Amino acid sequence: MMAREKTSAFVAWVLSKTGTTADKGFLAKLKKAESEATEYQAWEVLARWIDLEKPWERRAYGLIGASLARLKSDKDGSLGIGEALKALFAKRGGDGEIEGSAEASRLRRLLSCKDQEEAVEVIRPLLRYLVGQEIPISHMQLLDELLWFDNEISREKTRLRWAKNFYSKKEIEEATS
């Protein structure tokens, strides 16, 4: 199975267990994957999808799985990180310049990440906040980005895309109107 197909299948599989037909035991286990201290409780769920001996896979799949388990929807969102932060700025009223906003500060912190481990630590609270604010973030896209974040070329492309999607004037006008 190709990487993109695998991430798509994982997200679809977790989402099939949420919503009105929620498997509460499964979701509780998956939520444990978010923390290093409790992630071992989710290994039986994650082992079906990843090699548990690869920490970069455990971190990425664990974070995304835990976030999906908290999602109150059975559908994945469509926004990347940059677009999600811009949507959050608009939702909060879009007052002032986007460059000086709390969302811009969060993005700058994320853009400064040097590796996947750091990115996961920065994204974890951000993802919880975005999901809590019902911002429709694409977990599948984020999972793909995190899996390749340790690759220098891929990391740079991802960071450029996040910044472009956040700061693009056209989309800011659409998000605030």
Q: Please give the structure tokens belonging to residue 177.
A: 């109107």
- Which of 18, 40, 70 is the C-terminal boundary of a domain? 70
Does the residue 76 lie in any domain?
A: no
Share of the chain above pLDDT 90, in %: 73
Half-sphere exposure of 84 (CA within 13 A, CB side): 26
The strand pairing partners of 137, in sequence order, are 79
Q: Does 102 share its domain with 172? A: yes
Structural domain of 52: 3-70
Q: Tell whether the model's pLDDT for residue 24 goes beyond 90.
A: no
Q: Is residue 75 part of a domain?
A: no
Tokens representing 124 are 């974890």
Look up the pTM and report it: 0.89
- Whether 167 and 89 map to the same domain: the answer is yes
How many residues does the structure list for the chain? 177
Instruction: Give the separation between CA 79 and CA 29, rounded to whole angstroms.
Output: 26
Q: Do 45 and 97 lie in a common domain?
A: no
Neighbours of 89 (CB within 10 A): 23
Rounded to an integer, what distance in angstroms lies between the CA atom of residue 102 and that of residue 3? 33
The answer to whether residue 172 sits within a structural domain is yes
Domain closes at, from 45, 70, 95? 70
Per-residue confidence (pLDDT) for residue 148, from 0 to 100: 94
Query: pLDDT (tens digit, 9 = 90+) per residue, 43-87?
Result: 999 999 999 999 999 999 999 999 999 987 889 999 999 999 999
Same domain, 66 and 105: no
Note whether 104 and 153 are same-domain residues: yes
Are both 148 and 65 inside the same structural domain? no
Task: Name the phi and psi angles at 99, rounded to 5.
Answer: -65, -30
